[in-house]
Structure 1
Amino acid sequence: MVLTAVRGALGFLSRLPVGHSERAWEAFVGTPAAFPLAGYVVGGLMALPFLTAGLLPAPVVAAAYLGSVVLVTGVNHADGLADLGDAAVVHGDPAERRDAMRDTTVGVGAVLALGTVLLALALAALAVAGLRPLIAVALVLAAEVGAKLAMATLACIGRPSHDGFGSTVIAGNGPRRLVASLAVAVPAAVVAVPATAIAVITGPLIAVGLSRWADRQLGGVGGDVFGAANELTRAVALHASVAMWSLFGGVWSVPVGRWGVLAWTLS
């Protein structure tokens, strides 16, 4: 069941040729923990360019990362961010803002939202590319798991604004199911603490803030809010984790055997 849900999550969250069956989709929407579990796969693929950190110039590695984001995930979530940007600049009631989100015309709010987040992501990637390869990969992986954890959080605490993807994922889930999502994100958080921990926890924090904003401004959470949460968390988590690593260094942890953990301090 869990593997089927993860396949369904990958089918929705990435361009990988898996998880496009009805069975996988139904398992996915009923399993919020599938979001962060899929984040390990998506994040691992997107982190591959950082294995060349130190061998290639940092701008080249950062550009390769940005390309991998598009290649692996497509543009669905960026579209959600653009729609949310258009809704944010509308002066009106929630219904008018939702109408702006459905409008196919790209407004100034969409351009500003996409441009700001893309610039932030590029600058974060440039900073990550200056770190040692394994540390860079750990931060990118943690940020992607955090981004997917943001979506899982919305699925568990959100209130749907209208029929659509948001209502489908939120239906049948609740705050209790968030525990499993947090649990599966722990390995990504403890790889290089505190930097990876802050990257993962950024997801739920942004999700809570977006959920409250969406309740007031949109009448609840829709599919575009899920997409925007993913894009915002990725950029913010990378900046937060790089800042944390730069200020405090970290502890690199590797599981040993069944119960033990081998850890050593890095700076």
Structure 2
Amino acid sequence: MQRSSALDGLRFAFGTLTVLPVRVHRWDRVAARGGMLSAPVAGLVVGGCAAGLGVLLLLLGAGPLLAAVASVAVPAALTRGLHLDGLADTADGLGSGKPAEDALRIMKQSDIGPFGVLTLVLVLLAQVAVLAQLYDDSWGRGAVAAVASAVAARLALTLAARAGVPAARPEGLGAAVAGVVPGAVAVAVAVGVVAVAGVAGLRVAAAVGAGAGGAEVLLRVCVRRFGGVTGDVFGAVAETAATVSLVVLALGR
């Protein structure tokens, strides 16, 4: 990308994926492509904030459980809870067992059904449990996990926005970013992110890769079930990637 396009992409990523005060100047597909390619960078910032608050609480004398809750709360706050909302709506759509059109209508409703509530509770409990375990080991392990899970979540967005993955609806954020990233470029970004994560250790690289893989499984299920992606599906794959990456980091200590 040219410098102006790269900056527009970063603005798009931070302006749409976080609540940080970044003004988006362009809403076209070129900016959307740059934004989805820059999504892992936004994840690095979100994860850094999550880790920072968790470590700060530990230094002030808080226990690992409170630090873990804070590190889970920060990404939720910085995304206005949209990824969690998308996860709940997607769970309701998948759990409904209804045809695609009806399932998409269920997902668009403002209320959350039983599948969504159960999924949210289990996912948040899993994230907090893993981070509490890792913070109890050391502040460094917990902080690295918080950053890695946030990066894995946004890498999943890059992969979900690749060419060949259609939008389920003609409107909404899902339609705006669906298919904007060339497939080969999305794979190259994924390889690069996993390689950079390897600087923190092979387990961290494996966790980020596994997170992307788990999100890919959900993405394919949603495309087959709904006929494509929506904004809710993007949120669901992000939370799936974050959770899978954390679980991997908790295993085999």
| TM-score, with structure 1 as normaliser | 0.83
Residue 173 of structure 1 and its aligned partner are, at CA, apart by: 2.6
Is 1:69 matched up with 2:72? no
Aligned pair partner of 2:223 in 193, 205, 215: 215
Residue type of the partner of 2:152?
G
Following the alignment from structure 1 to structure 2, what is the Cα–Cα distance between the partners of residues 138 and 3?
27
- Name the structure 2 match of 1:174: 182
Instruction: State the Cα distance separating 1:202 from its structure 2 match.
Output: 2.4
Q: Does 1:135 align with 2:141?
A: yes
Q: CA deviation at 1:35?
A: 1.0
Higher alpha-carbon deviation: 189-198 or 176-185: 176-185
The amino acid that maps onto 1:22 is H
Distance 1:35 1:169, change over 3 A: same
> Would you say the 8 A contact 1:50–1:61 is kept in 2?
yes
Alpha-carbon shift at residue 80 of structure 1 (Å): 0.5
Structure with more strand by fraction: 1
- Provide Cα deviations, 1:150-204, integer angstroms capped at 9, x if missing partner: 1111101522211122222124433122134225414541132222112211232
Residue 128 of structure 2 aligns with which residue? 122
Unaligned 5+ segments in structure 2 are none
Deviation at 1:105, TM superposition (A): 2.5
The residue aligned with 1:29 is 32
Unaligned segments of structure 1, at least 5 residues: 247-267
1 CA distance for matches of 2:15 and 2:192? 19
Distance 1:178 1:165, change over 3 A: same
Alpha-carbon contact 1:124-1:235 (below 8 Å) kept: no
Query: Residue type matched to 1:169 in 2?
Result: V
> Does the C-alpha gap of structure 1 residues 26 and 219 become closer, same or farther in structure 2, counting only changes over 3 Å?
closer
Distance 1:69 1:211 in 2: 21
How far apart, CA to CA, are the structure 2 residues paired with 1:13 and 1:224?
Answer: 13
- Asked if structure 1 preserves the Cα contact closer than 8 Å seen for 2:44 and 2:151, the reply is yes
In the alignment, what sits opposite 1:15? 19
Q: Contact between 2:83 and 2:239, CA under 8 Å: does it hold in 1?
A: yes
Higher mean displacement: 1-10 or 216-225: 1-10
- Higher Rg of the two aligned structures: 1
Higher alpha-carbon deviation: 54-63 or 96-105? 54-63
- Equivalences for residues 1-267 of structure 1 within 5 A: 1-18=5-22, 20-23=23-26, 28-31=31-34, 32-52=36-56, 53=58, 55-156=61-162, 157-163=164-170, 164-186=172-194, 188-244=196-252, 246=253
1:21 counterpart SS class: coil
1:119 partner amino acid: L
Query: Take 1:172 and 1:148, find their aligned partners in 2: how far apart are those partners?
Result: 15
Distance 1:141 1:103 in 2: 32
If each structure's helix is expressed as a fraction of its own residues, which one has the higher value?
2
Letter in 1 for 2:131: A
> Does the 8 Å contact 2:37/2:181 carry over to 1?
no
Contact 1:28 1:34 in 2 (8 A): no
Cα distance in 2 for residues equivalent to 1:6 and 1:21: 9
Q: Residue type matched to 2:182 in 1?
A: G
What percent of counterpart residues are identical?
29
Aligned length: 244
User: Is 1:214–1:221's contact at 8 Å kept on the other side of the alignment?
Assistant: yes
Deviation at 1:41, TM superposition (A): 1.0
| Alignment check: 8 A CA contact 2:29 2:180 kept | no
Q: Tell me the CA shift for residue 123 of structure 1.
A: 0.8
